Amino acid sequence: MKRILGLIIVGVVVLGAVALPEPPPVAGPDFVGPQERESVAAATASVWYCPWVASGALRDSTVMIATKVPLAAEITLPQQIADEDADLATVSVVEPGAMVVPVGEIVRRGDTPLFIELSDGPASVAVVESSTQLLTGDTCVARIPKVWELPGGTTREGRTLTLRLFNPFPELAKVSVSGASESGETGLIDLQNLDVAARTWQDVNLNSLVPLLDDLALTVTSSEGFVIPSLVVAGLTDEASWPGVAPSANWEFPVATVSAQYAPSLMLTNSGNAPVNAVVDVYTSEGATISAREVVVDPSVPRRVDLSDLADGAMGVRVRASAPLAAVVLAEESVAAQQPTDEEGLIDEDTILGDRIAGTIGVSVPATEWLLPGLQAVAEGSSSLWILNTGTESATITLQALGSSATAVSKQSVPPGTVLGVPLGFDEAIGGYQLESSVPVSVAWSAEATTGLMFVSGTVVGG
């Protein structure tokens, strides 16, 4: 994780205790409400926001940039204490390619959400966070709605749920958080009209507020200013994190699980006023099971759809709904009941077994061009690219490596109604990929190590 892959870096300049400049206007976010896509690599300058980042004694994080054009990037890491100067780093890519920048080479102070200003595009940004016991990843976001939906939470025994509210802007943000569980609307009185100071963040421990809920979905609404939230579900060791989404009547998830070792589930939330009918289609390398599940999602009652009995091994899923829903997928290797204990019956922390967990958002509209920053950034594990073709025509895929091995190009074919997993061995000269398809597809990537499992959604090129 500490290597810099496939880079041509003109310079990395770390400036501590420098007055934080006001970020330029972001290309794309019109601040008019939820957008159909939360992360789109526009062909202009842009700003990307990454709320779940940490680099300290126990954790390392890596910022990953993929670009089709030469660009400069300024990485800004605000302090949690208001009015404290931020840390800055400036990097450049002199050729179209990929850049992987360890956050620990900029600053080590624990939690440190960040934003990145890119001088050109198309380009995209993601973050990987790791330790000796976990592996998690987030796609960063480039559009900032007033309302965010965050499905997939739980405060059941063996899980810890954290909501991070990141305000990278120079104005105070006032935020209210509402929740819905299997029992209906969940009162979160302490989370109404929260003040999130300019260029700071707050972490909310949901277990202490609403413990022992099997399913918990959150809605974050900004009445003043803007925040970028991230939801984090942690197990005994590993954790999964993902950003908020805008509801959609259609969702595609190229990866819901990577093997039979993990139990996949789909979390659906209805923030409307009437029940929504949803159909779940399942895709494997062998073909599709259309209407594998048909469910009704009631207002303010999250619906967990167990997928573990629908296919053996890796799968992708599609959701078709009668009205917009928020959705995420989760894959969990839960072995909590099998944990070794000491003489007093407590879990022996020196011999904890795995409890790997991964989750990610989906894509509401398939596309023909994608960027995948950092796809081979996990040196200690294995990475895979996942391509879901829900259409009726075969997809011809051109996969372009980004980095100093940018000449590496491969061709793949994805038959209609299937998902293709492409294993990719670690290569320090490759820091990402550009993917082009003859027909619209959905794309994500995964990384698996003994420490954890993570899913990261790809970035659509366009807008």
| pLDDT of 57 | 85
Residue 21 clears pLDDT 60, i.e. is over it: no
Q: How far apart are CA 191 and CA 242, in angstroms?
A: 20
Please name the amino acid found at residue 53: V
pLDDT digits (tens, 9 = 90+) for 161-176: 999 999 999 999 999 9
Output the average pLDDT for the chain: 85
CATH for the stretch 367-461: 2.60.290.11
Residue 38 above 90 pLDDT? no
Question: Which DSSP string corresponds to 405-428?
Answer: TTT-EEEEEE-TTEEEEEEE---T
Taking only the tens place, the pLDDT of each residue in 210-245 is 999 999 999 999 999 999 999 999 998 899 999 999
Q: Are 22 and 418 in contact (CB under 8 A)?
A: no
Q: What string of H, E and C letters represents the secondary structure of 139-189?
A: ECECCCCCEEEEEEECCCCCCEEEEEEEECCCCCEEEEEEEEECCEEECCH
Per-residue model confidence as pLDDT tens digits over 361-403: 999 999 999 999 987 666 677 899 999 999 999 999 999 988 7
CB atoms within 10 A of CB 109: 14
> What confidence category does residue 97 fall into, taking pLDDT thresholds of 50, 70 and 90?
confident
Which of 123-127, 231-235, 330-334 has the lowest average pLDDT?
Answer: 330-334
Reply yes or no on whether the pLDDT at 320 is more than 60: yes
pLDDT at 275: 97
Return the percent helix, strand and coil in the chain, to nearest 5.
Answer: 5, 55, 40
The domain covering 13-20+31-139 belongs, at the CATH homologous superfamily level, to TM1070-like (2.60.290.11)
Rounded Cα gap, residues 143 and 41, in angstroms: 10
Residue 353 pLDDT: 53
Q: Which uninterrupted H or E stretch holds 205?
A: strand 200-205
pLDDT for residue 441: 97
Q: Are β-strands 40-41 and 459-461 bridged in parallel, bridged antiparallel, or unpaired? A: parallel
* pLDDT value for 335: 54
Instruction: Decide: 20 and 76 in contact? Cβ < 8 Å.
Output: yes
The answer to whether residue 265 scores a pLDDT higher than 90 is: yes
Give the number of C-alpha atoms closer than 13 A to the C-alpha of residue 381, restricted to the C-beta side.
25
Confidence of residue 344 (pLDDT cuts 50, 70, 90): low
Domain 13-20+31-139 matches domain 367-461 at the CATH topology level: yes
Q: For residue 240, give the 3-state DSSP assignment.
A: strand
Share of the chain above pLDDT 90, in %: 67
The DSSP output letter for 341 is B
Q: What is the pTM of this model?
A: 0.86
Which pLDDT belongs to residue 95?
72
pLDDT tier at 83 (50, 70, 90 boundaries)?
confident
Q: Is 458 in a helix, a strand, or coil?
A: coil
Give pLDDT, residue 308: 92
Do residues 315 and 253 lie in contact, with contact meaning Cβ atoms separated by under 8 Å? Answer: no
Using DSSP's 3-state secondary structure scheme, residue 206 falls into helix
Cβ proximity of 194 and 202 under 8 Å: yes
Residue 369 is encoded by which pair of tokens? Answer: 């061009």
Determine the Cα–Cα distance for residues 175 and 351; give it in Å rounded to an integer. Answer: 41
For residue 17, the model assigns a pLDDT of 33
Is the pLDDT confidence value at 180 over 70? yes
pLDDT by residue (tens digit) across 354-366?
689 999 999 999 9
Contact indicator for 359, 331 with CB cutoff of 8 Å: yes
Per the CB < 8 A criterion, the answer to whether 433 and 458 are in contact is: no
Where along the chain do its domains lie? 13-20+31-139, 367-461
Write down the pLDDT at residue 39: 60
Average pLDDT over residues 149-168: 96
Average pLDDT score over residue span 119-123: 92
Q: Which residues pair with 60 in a beta bridge?
A: 130
Locus of tokens 């993902």: 242
